[in-house]
Amino acid sequence: MTKSRGFTEADVPDQSGKCFIVTGANTGIGFEAAHVLAARGARVLLACRDRDKAKAAMARIRTAIPRADLVFLPLDLGDLDSIRHAAGLATAEPRIDALVNNAGVMNPPLMRTKQGFELQFGVNHLGTFALTSLLLPKLAETQGARIVTTSSLAHRGAQIDWDDLNAERSYSRVGRYGASKLANALFFYELDRRLRASGSTILSVGCHPGIASTDLARHLWPVQVLIRVTGMVLNNAAMGAWPTLQAATGPVQPGGYYGPIGFRGTRGVSGEAARSDEAQDPVLAKRLWDASVAMTGIDPGLVPAS
């Protein structure tokens, strides 16, 4: 049960008999989430691009949990062919209780996915959209299965350039990252609306890690200055995984959003988090959904919510 103090890994219940897919599980928050899930008895598919790094992560987990049930699932979210292959492999599992969409890229120079999409939008959103869509039928086989999509504080104030989704005319590392995280928030919101409209038992929820010392903070020099000036302590990777673990295993509301509840949502234990108005705009959400289907050629087949 979630205590009044908020949710931490200590609140994760026994997960024996359950199966989780965690993307980007070889490092950072994804690794910490996979570690805790394995410690609670779950079967965990570490969906990663690099086999050696995934195997190293699995070895680290097994050092602490010798009987951990871990599987490497090859997945490159920047390649739709890889996503289709990974979904096919995962579908062979007896059950999938939750898909944890954790992997992402942040603030790279202008780069493109295999299919030519701008990398941050292509990996963070389109890859997540495609993988989720392809796994929906399998997830539907398990009552109450969950889809967890990771957004960010950076979604606030972000704007999606609808006339230049592929960054063919302009590119800002920070701006495109924020747009991809707004897309993540719009996606899990719209996915929830469509799942509810279809009568599905699948839950679509979102989370964000606040500012974790292994993730956002290392890229943002203003935060590093703030740490030095104020002595503010950020979440480490294990703490940054608490919202992910709450969204994947704790008590949640359909379409709920979870993140740190301390100091403006940047740190501390997990609880309900705030979203921008844009992240809950049904018009924008539908526009993104339609664009994602057109760009990926993958249609989840869910009817729009009224």
Question: Mean pLDDT: which of 2-11, 167-176, 213-222 is highest?
Answer: 167-176
Confidence of residue 262 (pLDDT cuts 50, 70, 90): confident
For residue 306, being part of any structural domain is answered with no
CA 120 to chain centre: 14
pLDDT for residue 225 is more than 80: no
What residues are paired with 22 via a beta bridge?
A: 46, 100
For residue 80, being part of any structural domain is answered with yes
Angle at 99 between CA 94 and CA 100, to 5 degrees: 145
For residue 258, being part of any structural domain is answered with yes
**Which amino acid type is present at position 231?**
G
The residues annotated as belonging to the active site are 177
Backbone angles phi, psi at 244, to 5 degrees: -60, -45
For residue 242, being part of any structural domain is answered with yes
DSSP states along 67-127:
T-EEEEEE--TT-HHHHHHHHHHHHTSS---EEEE-----SPSS-B-TTS-BHHIIIIIII
What residue numbers bound the domain in which 269 lies? 13-296
C-alpha pair distances (Å), 210 with each of 125, 136, 259, 286, 298: 19, 28, 6, 27, 31
Averaged pLDDT, 42-71? 98
pLDDT for residue 217 is more than 60: no
For residue 5, being part of any structural domain is answered with no
pTM assigned to the model: 0.93
pLDDT for residue 1 is more than 80: no
Backbone angles phi, psi at 283, to 5 degrees: -70, -45
pLDDT for residue 222 is more than 90: no
pLDDT for residue 38 is more than 80: yes
| 265 contacts 273 by C-beta, under 8 angstroms | yes
Average pLDDT, whole number, for the chain? 92
Confidence of residue 134 (pLDDT cuts 50, 70, 90): very high
**What does the alpha-carbon distance between residue 95 and residue 93 come to, in Å, rounded to a whole number?**
5
For residue 7, being part of any structural domain is answered with no
For residue 304, being part of any structural domain is answered with no
Number of domains in the chain: 1
| 197-209 tens-digit pLDDT | 999 999 999 999 9
The percentage of the chain sitting over the pLDDT mark of 90, rounded to a whole number, equals: 83
**What does the alpha-carbon distance between residue 212 and residue 259 come to, in Å, rounded to a whole number?**
11
| 65-96 tens-digit pLDDT | 999 999 999 999 999 999 999 999 999 999 99
For residue 2, being part of any structural domain is answered with no
CATH number for position 173: 3.40.50.720
Averaged pLDDT, 206-227? 61
C-alpha pair distances (Å), 142 with each of 45, 79, 137, 167, 244: 17, 27, 10, 39, 20
Q: Which of 125-134, 255-264, 285-294 has the lowest mean pLDDT?
A: 255-264
Averaged pLDDT, 170-194? 97
| 191 contacts 147 by C-beta, under 8 angstroms | yes
Give residues with Cβ within 8 angstroms of 159, minimum separation 6. 175, 178, 179, 182, 278
| Strand pairing class (257-262; 267-272) | antiparallel
The predicted pLDDT at position 265 comes to 66
Angle at 47 between CA 89 and CA 247, to 5 degrees: 110
| 201 contacts 144 by C-beta, under 8 angstroms | yes
Backbone angles phi, psi at 120, to 5 degrees: -70, -45
The predicted pLDDT at position 2 comes to 41
